[in-house]
Amino acid sequence: MCGIAGFIDKRLDEQSRPRVLESMLESIAHRGPDARGRHFDGDIALGHNRLSILDLSAEGNQPMCRGSAWIVFNGEIYNYIELRDLLKREHGMQFSTGTDTEVILAAYHVWGRDCVERFVGMWSFALWDTERRQLFCSRDRFGIKPFHYILQGERFYFGSEVKALYSCPLFSADVDEFQVLVGLQLGWNAWSDHTYYKEVKTLPAGHNLVWYEGGMVEVYSYWTLSTIQSSAAEAQDAVDGFRERFDESLRLHMRSDVEVGACLSGGLDSSSIVSRLCRLNPSQRMKAFTIYYEGNGGVDERPWVKEVLNAYPNVEGFTHTPSDDEVAEVFADALWHADVPLSGSSPFSQYFVMQLAARQGIKVLLDGQGADEMLGGYMHSFYRLIGGLMVQGRFPKAIQEWDAHSRMQGFSLAKRTDSWLKSVLAGLRSEQHLYAFEYLNYLPFVGLDKSVPFSIADQQGSRLNRFLHTLTTVSSLPTLLQFEDRNSMAFSIESRVPFLDHRLVEYVFSLQDSCKINRGVTKQVLRQSMVGTLPEAIAGRKDKKGFVTPGEVRWLRGPLRFLLDQEFNSVDWLNRKQIAQLISQFRKGDDTHANLVWRLVVLRWWLEHGRSAPKG
User: How many Å apart are CA 426 and CA 428, to the nearest integer?
Assistant: 6
Got the DSSP string for 290-321?
EE---STT----HHHHHHHHHH-TTEEEEEE-
Nearest to 84 by CA among 63, 57, 62, 66: 66
At residue 509, the pLDDT reads 96
Element (DSSP H or E) covering residue 286: strand 286-291
CA torsion angle 350 353 358 359 (round to 10)? 150
Which residues, including other chains, have CB under 8 Å from residue 441's CB and lie 6 or more apart? none
pLDDT in tens, 268-300: 999 999 999 999 999 989 999 999 998 777 788
Domains by residue range for the chain, with CATH: 2-174+196-221 (3.60.20.10), 238-369+479-507+524-539 (3.40.50.620), 551-609 (no CATH)
Axis crossing angle, helix 413-428 with helix 395-409, rounded to the nearest 10: 140
pLDDT band for 493, please (50, 70, 90 cuts).
very high
pLDDT in tens, 167-182: 999 999 999 988 998 9
- pTM for the model stands at 0.95
Q: Over 70: is that where the pLDDT of 332 sits?
A: yes
User: How many Å apart are CA 288 and CA 307, to the nearest integer?
Assistant: 13
360 vs 443, higher pLDDT: 360
At residue 441, the pLDDT reads 82
User: How many Å apart are CA 517 and CA 376, to the nearest integer?
Assistant: 7
For 79-114, letters b (16+ CB in 10 Å) and e give bbeebbebbeeeeebeeebbbbbbbbbbbbbeeebe
Q: Over 60: is that where the pLDDT of 164 sits?
A: yes
pLDDT in tens, 81-105: 999 999 999 999 999 999 999 999 9
Which residue of the set 2, 137, 168, 278 is catalytic?
2
Axis crossing angle, helix 413-428 with helix 463-473, rounded to the nearest 10: 90
pLDDT band for 538, please (50, 70, 90 cuts).
very high
pLDDT band for 615, please (50, 70, 90 cuts).
low
At residue 86, the pLDDT reads 98
Question: Residue 408 in 3-state DSSP?
Answer: helix
CA 482 to chain CA mean position, Å:
4
pLDDT band for 616, please (50, 70, 90 cuts).
low
Q: Is 2 in the active site?
A: yes
Q: Over 80: is that where the pLDDT of 517 sits?
A: yes
User: How many Å apart are CA 277 and CA 254, to the nearest integer?
Assistant: 9
At residue 385, the pLDDT reads 97
Q: What is the CA radius of gyration of the chain?
A: 24
CA 268 to chain CA mean position, Å:
18
pLDDT in tens, 539-578: 887 766 555 677 889 999 999 999 999 888 767 777 788 8
The amino acid that residue 555 corresponds to is W
181 touches 104 (CB < 8 A)? no
